Amino acid sequence: MHNLADDLVDRHVREGRGDRLALVSEGRHVTYRELCGNINRVAHALTALGVGAGDRVLLVLLDSPEFVAAFLGAVKIGAVAVPTNTTLRSTDYAYFLEESGAAAVIVHAALLAEVGPALEGAKPRLENRVVVVGDDVSGYRHWDNWLDGRSGALDAARTKGTDVAFWLWTSGSTGRPKAAVHRHRDWSYCAANYAAGVLGLTASDLTFSSSKLFHAYGLGNSMAFPLNAGAATVLSQARPQAKSVLEIVQRTRPTLFFSVPTLYAAMLEEARATTYDLSSVRLAISAAEPLPAEIFRRWKERFDIEILDGLGSTEVLHIYLSARAGDVRPGSCGKAVPGYDIRLVDAAGEDVPAGTIGDLLVAGDSRAVCYWQRPELTAERMRGAWFVTGDKYRVDGDGYYWYAGRADDMFKVSGQWVSPIEIESTLIEHPSVLEAAVIAFDEESRLQTAKAFVVLRPGRTASPDLARELQDFVKARLTPYKCPRRIEFLPELPKSAAGKLLRYKLREFASLPPDPLA
């Protein structure tokens, strides 16, 4: 038998670790024994609603002990947990309800303004199978009442490691979200190879992640990895912002801190005005998008903490390429995580030599079974043991991998291939630049050139003179054809909930401003 809930929580209680701290959340402290009891009560309550093996339970919950209990309570009875982005609109939730065919929904009261209309229009009607966490809302079951009187004891369903345990939504760069279908064994594989093997995570660690539990990166950081090790984690319901995140780290003193490049950059700006004590953190981790070398260097200089950049995906569940502590090459996401095989191939599927950009393929036992009801896409992206990531990389002679952009982000200027990430990394080195994103831009001549979107650091002012200064800065460091012909200043870049740059949105509203070189 292999049941994810039993593996992450019950095991520790059986082996005498029930009184260890598991969760810290908004002043609440939950032990493994208490968490186990809460999971069991949710499992009994779901069964009473008629939820059974294979049924989907849609979760629209803020990061909290209730999220963990709901997720693992569903998994424990052999049902399928489906965590869902908490920042969306009613039409999105209506889609998720229809796509998942949810047998039950557990939602936080603060999110009902958007989720409620979707529930009202759901077909078939969910009737009394909607449970609300937080405030008591008329017309729905309330979490506390729903669990009241339920038994805190339950043996896990005798699932196999290859049985489906949860879905995670992924949309890639465009299109409707699709569900990556994962198994009971997948988190155990990631925990053994990445969390323990690369990060050295043990029972003595305390983790905190700015990325939320509804996303694969946050779900590993804040639930699967610490619970697998018998460690503890800090959960915050608040929206991740630089000041609040730094305050949480300073107050709770985690040993492992997980975030994304955009937030690391913002935290560095925040720390220019206020001093923060992050001395408890032994390692910081970054994912969701490439970590610019300049951000690594500034963070190391400011806090004396290394940021380990990593590449992962929802389909492979978590990080499979990672930098190593004490062996970071800024700008590189390091080497393959143990347990994962990596290939770089050309358009014909042949392996490319070191130093040559190729399409990245990855194989490992945490890969999703399929995309739910997407057989053609599954066949296209999941080829035998390999997952086609859509990323382009090169590997150097020492085995370190360097990002070269998404497959559909590369473009040619003057007949030469251009990698947006190379230009972006160069722009970020300028003292006025906080963030940068580069796309191909169609000139009136129909020829493509590079266009940069730049977010300035606080106190800097956009101007044609600064645009020319940035272009000269790039020309001095890169081959001239890579210099962005046009630069547009923005207050912020469009990002996904996971912190990934939505480059397609930049393409959508890219305009043709006056040529700053004219």
What is the per-residue pLDDT for 409?
A: 78
Q: Which residues pair with 487 in a beta bridge?
A: 452
> 319, exposed or middle or buried, with CB in 10 Å at 0-12, 13-18, 19+?
buried
Neighbouring residues of 135: CB distance < 8 A, sequence distance ≥ 6: 109, 110
Q: 434 and 455 in contact (C-beta within 8 Å)?
A: yes
Q: 271 and 302 in contact (C-beta within 8 Å)?
A: yes
Q: 140 and 131 in contact (C-beta within 8 Å)?
A: yes
What is the per-residue pLDDT for 514?
A: 44
Q: Which residues pair with 322 in a beta bridge?
A: 310, 335
Best CA proximity match to 169, nearest among 368, 363, 385, 322: 368
* CA pair distance 440, 419, nearest whole angstrom: 10
One DSSP character per residue, 42-103 reads: HHHHHHHTT--TT-EEEEE--SSHHHHHHHHHHHHTT-EEEE--SS--HHHHHHHHHHHT-S
Q: 81 and 165 in contact (C-beta within 8 Å)?
A: yes
pLDDT in single tens digits along all 518 residues of the chain:
999 999 999 999 999 999 999 999 999 999 999 999 999 999 999 999 999 999 999 999 999 999 999 999 999 999 999 999 998 889 889 999 999 999 999 999 999 999 999 999 888 889 899 999 999 999 999 999 999 999 999 999 999 999 999 999 987 544 578 999 999 999 999 999 999 999 999 999 999 999 999 999 999 999 999 999 999 999 999 999 999 999 999 999 999 999 998 899 899 999 999 999 999 999 999 998 889 899 999 999 999 999 999 999 999 999 999 999 999 999 999 999 999 999 999 999 999 999 999 999 999 999 999 999 999 999 999 999 999 999 999 999 999 999 887 777 777 776 666 878 889 999 999 999 999 999 988 776 566 789 999 999 999 999 999 999 999 999 988 878 889 999 999 999 998 877 788 888 888 766 545 444 43
pTM of the model: 0.85
What is the per-residue pLDDT for 414?
A: 64
What is the per-residue pLDDT for 160?
A: 98
What is the per-residue pLDDT for 441?
A: 86
Q: 257 and 294 in contact (C-beta within 8 Å)?
A: no
Domains and CATH numbers, the chain: 4-183 (3.40.50.980), 186-406 (3.40.50.12780), 411-509 (3.30.300.30)
* Residue that has been written with the tokens 């609109």 in this structure: 89
